[in-house]
Structure 1
Amino acid sequence: MTDSDETISSTLPLVLAIVCLVWYIILWSLGILGCRTARRRYLSRPRSPLSSADPSSVPGVSILRPLKGLDANLYENLESTFKQEYPNFEIFLCVENEHDQALNVVRDLVAKYPRVNAHIMIGAEPVGANPKINNLIRAYRQAANDILWVLDSNVMVAPGTMARSVDILEPPPRITASQRRRVALVHHVPLAFATEHTIGSRVEEAFLNTNHAKMYLAINATGIDSCVVGKSNLYRKSDLERVDGTLKPDNASQYSAHGTGLAAFGRFLAEDNMIGLALWHELDLRHDLSCDVAQNSIGSMSFYDYILRRIRWLRVRRHMSLAATIVEPFSESVLIGVLTSVSLHYLFGVPFWFFLPIHFLVWYAVDMDVYSSLAGRPVAFQTGWMQFLGAWIIRECLAFPIWLYAVWGSKIVWRGKEYTVTRNGEVKLTRKGSSGNVTNTRKCLNVNLAQ
């Protein structure tokens, strides 16, 4: 071995240890930022003046809710949109066919609230591989208002959510003039609650309410790039009609290939993230969060269902943002804790048994602080906290094994259908649902190519 080889072999561990410690500090900075953001934003939810304004003086909002079957807490989720404290809105309740079980719930609510301008939309239009877009496209075209609020069927919102969100999307002129970039999208961080306490439901609840929420808030607080989850999003139809998902600022040449508007995003499974990215990069507009949460109802989810869900979205994200997906496991408590403990032991002789318990204890405390801020109440020792702690531990321990399995494939299953994820997060339907009939890929792509 030459002197240079010996130098490299002795220097490399030192460099890696220092890099690990620097990354650990950066990661904790993001975690504290997410925690502080949660405290500042969600511990107070003031009433918006738009809630009691004259209907003619506020912008109209069209609420679009895609439905399929009897999701957990469906009646209460949908009723929350009928009970919005806002003077000018309409609701579109969209189902794929007239045999959908959600229709009975929808008709009961329409009858219960006759003064609400609600429309029942039956029938999907195939404009892409994404069934949610296909379900919503007719309502999108018929919406009377420029502001659209797209809400998943498993989401419940507080009565003042719409008014506070429109406050941000349509601020007073003096505030608009001071902004460097106009707000094009208002979104809400998910706050999960398990309606059935299966192991998968509890693990999903622990994930969404702690690490996911913490990093989601931190990334949005930095404003370095778009980071949007599509549980509850408000944006303008006029803005959406100017983007096509290519993420190119000058995308006029792409219009003939993909079209614009909601239909252009039918080729993506994660259409929510792509819409956010398109508004951010193609129009140079920004996003913002209101002080509301999207209360995400989680029904009976098996442990296997939870794993499949994480695999599905990791594979979609890998094709949309490879760098972020590669970095993700190094932001998880177990892997970064082990790596940092090795680095500290190498550099300063810190014992593993001393560092790791402190690391996990503080990590859990910050996660629970974020959860408490979103929930608006202390949750550390609420009823069932031991089960929650167990679910949190399972989630943290599984993060790296699930990631490792997910990054090596491109097949995903969503709502009984199999898709292949391709470049930029676009998907191709490869197998239909319960019938199990394999479709001709060329046939499935005809819709996309016609956009």
Structure 2
Amino acid sequence: MTGAMGQIAAMVGWALAGLSLAGTLYTVLAGVTLYHFYSHPPPAGARRDGVTLIKPLHGAEPQLADNLASFAIQHHAGPVQMLCGVQRASDPAIAVVEALKERFPARRIDLVVDATPHGANPKVANLINLEPHIAHDVVVLSDSDIAVGPEYLPTVLAALDRAGTGAVTLAYGGRGDAGFWSRIAASGLSWQFLPGAVFGARLGLARPCMGSTIALRRETLARIGGMRAFADVLADDFAIGEAVAALGLSVDVAPALVVHGSTEADFGALWRHELRWGATVRALVPTAYALGVIAMPLPLALLALPFHPLAAGCCAALALIARGAVARLADRLTGVRSAPIWALPLRDCLTFVVFLGSWGVRSVDWRGATLRMESEGRVSALPEVPLT
């Protein structure tokens, strides 16, 4: 029995080491893809399209004023409406929007305060309340924690103009806005999510549609049922992309990077956020999510250490070198040092633990609301927890 168990343990160790090596190869390929996609973006010409920027807001999160201001500073010759929405008259984001109006008096910045509930997803309820106030034919949805550069609109509009394109989205890196744990969260976006999203999109392995940016024409939004069609969907960005694709139109990732401001002030907030994200992806694309373990070569090598110390140690060293190079590349491309490079082993091990933990999640936290996960990525609100 001992001999048989020893053989099984040895096989498990070699399997983990082999997966780690495969993950290191993937990391190198993802890094090369990331570099080529963003290093030479095509020039975007001058545009005059009328654009409505939709910003669903909830609270005065760190850097909200600067995030919103970045959308008001665009190299765009056409009319732009920034449409901001909150669901409570006491929401502190209102003061931020009013200050933004004073800072940019020449910009059209509209604020809608509407508490009307729609479905289980509070963010989508906000978007539904904003939809009747859209003024222009091009609609750009983006989360409140996103910051962009001045070439954002020209790049997005150029991509939306391509034949057969129904929507345009952007990948993003992270920026820690609330201390150490927010920087660890940000590094997960820059060092793990960003290379994977670009690699999957460029090779046709994934069809991402991300809340950082969803640009589409008003007619397309109407054809997919408007925002009301997603009232009970947790991953509304993913669902919008799938609905656009169902029309026979493509969802393209444009060659521009934006930055997501992470606001997790402590480990608990980070854990809840990443579990929600992982569980959501697991519910939507379980096979692809399971295969994503290949993108975690360092934890896999560490698990192999007790079985084959020398071989696993070499695998861990190779993984560290490859992951470190990709992390530095991602930070250079985004222009933000998401976290100190010494935090990479911590970040990678945390990613692996979240991956394992997400398989047992049946309900998630969204800004104080507890949402029960249903089939096909839909959610329902637990009745004892208010959504406001």
Q: TM-score, normalised by structure 2?
A: 0.88
CA distance in 2, matches of 1:164, 1:353: 44
Offset, 1:122: 0.9
- Give the match's secondary structure for 1:292: coil
Offset, 1:334: 3.0
Offset, 1:12: 12
**Do the aligned partners of residues 14 and 267 (structure 1) sit closer, same or farther apart at CA in structure 2, a change above 3 Å counting?**
same
1:425 matches 2:377: yes
CA distance in 1, matches of 2:263, 2:312: 39
- Give the match's secondary structure for 1:227: coil
Give 1:24-423 correspondences, 5 Å limit.
27-44=23-40, 48-50=44-46, 53=47, 58-88=48-78, 89-171=80-162, 176=163, 182-198=164-180, 200-243=181-224, 260-280=225-245, 282-299=246-263, 301-338=265-302, 351-375=311-335, 388-423=340-375
- Give the match's secondary structure for 1:127: coil
Asked if 1 retains the 8 angstrom alpha-carbon contact of 2:21 and 2:297, the reply is no
Asked if 2 retains the 8 angstrom alpha-carbon contact of 1:191 and 1:374, the reply is yes
Offset, 1:213: 0.9
* Structure 1 stretches lacking a partner, 5+ long: 177-181, 244-259, 380-384, 432-436, 445-451
Offset, 1:340: 7.2
Asked if 1 retains the 8 angstrom alpha-carbon contact of 2:24 and 2:297, the reply is no
CA distance in 1, matches of 2:293, 2:207: 20
2:276 maps to amino acid: R
**Do the aligned partners of residues 278 and 33 (structure 1) sit closer, same or farther apart at CA in structure 2, a change above 3 Å counting?**
farther
Q: Which residue number in structure 2 is paired with residue 256 of structure 1?
A: none
Moved more, 158-167 or 316-325: 316-325
1:214 maps to amino acid: P
CA distance in 2, matches of 1:392, 1:229: 24
**Do the aligned partners of residues 340 and 316 (structure 1) sit closer, same or farther apart at CA in structure 2, a change above 3 Å counting?**
same
- Give the match's secondary structure for 1:193: strand
Structure with higher RCO (Cα < 8 A, 6+ apart): 2
CA distance in 1, matches of 2:374, 2:184: 29
Offset, 1:263: 0.8
- Give the match's secondary structure for 2:170: strand
- Give the match's secondary structure for 1:71: coil
2:207 maps to amino acid: S
Work out which of the two has the higher radius of gyration on C-alpha atoms and give 1 or 2. 1
* Structure 2 stretches lacking a partner, 5+ long: none
2:167 maps to amino acid: L
CA distance in 2, matches of 1:170, 1:354: 48
- The C-alpha deviation readout for 1:173-206, integer Å capped at 9, x for no partner, is xxx3xxxxx22221122221123323x1121121
Asked if 1 retains the 8 angstrom alpha-carbon contact of 2:282 and 2:358, the reply is no
1:74 maps to amino acid: L
**Do the aligned partners of residues 339 and 141 (structure 1) sit closer, same or farther apart at CA in structure 2, a change above 3 Å counting?**
same
Offset, 1:332: 1.2
Q: How many residues align?
A: 383
Asked if 2 retains the 8 angstrom alpha-carbon contact of 1:341 and 1:355, the reply is no
**Identical-residue share of aligned pairs (%):** 21
CA distance in 2, matches of 1:397, 1:339: 11
Asked if 2 retains the 8 angstrom alpha-carbon contact of 1:329 and 1:399, the reply is no
Offset, 1:312: 1.1
CA distance in 1, matches of 2:35, 2:294: 25
CA distance in 2, matches of 1:265, 1:274: 7
**Do the aligned partners of residues 40 and 418 (structure 1) sit closer, same or farther apart at CA in structure 2, a change above 3 Å counting?**
same
Offset, 1:123: 0.7
